Amino acid sequence: MTEHVVDDTEPTVRTLDADERASLEDAGIEPDAVLEKECSYRTLLDAGVEEGVATALRRRLSLPWSFESDGDLDRRSSEIRGLGEEERAWIAASADEEWQAFEAARSRAEDEPTPSDEEERPYPRPTPVTAVTAVGPDDASRLAEAGVVSAERLATIDATAVARALELDILHVRTWRHNARELVAD
């Protein structure tokens, strides 16, 4: 058999060693199908490939866990050690394919009454970044380019990264961050 090259521009050639090929062939799986990612980790195990070989192939070749969607997430979450009850509950809730659908979110939002200004919000409104001492409207526009639109966010930024990204003086950004921390601490 010839060596399989996924792409000439890739830095590494994806191949199977003789033991892996033999293990796949013994299980009735065409080695090239694994190299082309036509087999999942679950497929390998179900065909009788030794778990250690299947795991090594999954990791090295970035094979999908499974091509199934029905119940696979629940099975994987039950097999993963170290998950707490909250993580397991999140996995169970996200098993439904509609949990991220935009239509579902939009229809739920339309059905629910919106709180009026007189009703209590479940969380406080963010403090505008312009409420921070020494941050003017132009500065706020620049900070918004880096995703910083509230005093709470400004108080937690990496000043060096923001200064580099926006090509600003690090001392200005550190001063703004300090002032934001004082503001939100009150």
pTM for the model: 0.37
Confidence of residue 39 (pLDDT cuts 50, 70, 90): confident
Q: Which of 11, 45, 66 is the last residue of a domain?
A: 66
Judge if 58 and 6 occupy the same domain. Answer: yes
**What's the pLDDT score for residue 176?**
93
Higher pLDDT, 168 or 108: 168
The answer to whether the CB of 77 falls within 8 A of the CB of 88 is yes
Judge if 73 and 29 occupy the same domain. Answer: no
**Interval 13-22: pLDDT, tens:** 578 889 899 9
Q: Indicate if the pLDDT at residue 111 is higher than 90.
A: no
Judge if 41 and 81 occupy the same domain. Answer: no
Q: Is residue 32 part of a domain?
A: yes
Judge if 38 and 76 occupy the same domain. Answer: no
Judge if 37 and 5 occupy the same domain. Answer: yes
**What's the pLDDT score for residue 78?**
57
**What's the pLDDT score for residue 13?**
53
Q: Is residue 115 part of a domain?
A: no
Query: CATH number, domain at 176?
Result: 1.10.150
**What's the pLDDT score for residue 132?**
94
Share of the chain above pLDDT 90, in %: 26
Judge if 13 and 32 occupy the same domain. Answer: yes
Q: Is residue 105 part of a domain?
A: no
Q: Is residue 14 part of a domain?
A: yes
Q: Is 176 helix (H, G, I), strand (E, B) or coil?
A: helix
Judge if 46 and 77 occupy the same domain. Answer: no
Question: How much is the average pLDDT of 141-147?
Answer: 89
Judge if 55 and 4 occupy the same domain. Answer: yes
Closest CA to 124 of 148, 106, 151: 151
Q: Indicate if the pLDDT at residue 155 is higher than 60.
A: yes
Quick one: DSSP state of residue 96? S
Q: Is residue 123 part of a domain?
A: no
What domain range includes position 93?
A: 68-97
Q: Indicate if the pLDDT at residue 131 is higher than 90.
A: yes
Higher pLDDT, 145 or 1: 145
Q: Is residue 108 part of a domain?
A: no
Alpha carbons 114 and 179: distance in angstroms, whole number: 34
Per-residue CA distances from 43 to 25, 51, 58 (Å): 14, 11, 11
Q: Which of 17, 43, 66 is the last residue of a domain?
A: 66
**Interval 42-95: pLDDT, tens:** 889 889 998 889 888 988 888 887 776 555 555 555 555 666 677 666 666 665
Q: Is residue 116 part of a domain?
A: no
Q: Is residue 92 part of a domain?
A: yes
Sign of CA dihedral 52, 55, 57, 60: negative
Higher pLDDT, 11 or 2: 2
**What's the pLDDT score for residue 178?**
94
Domain count, the chain: 3
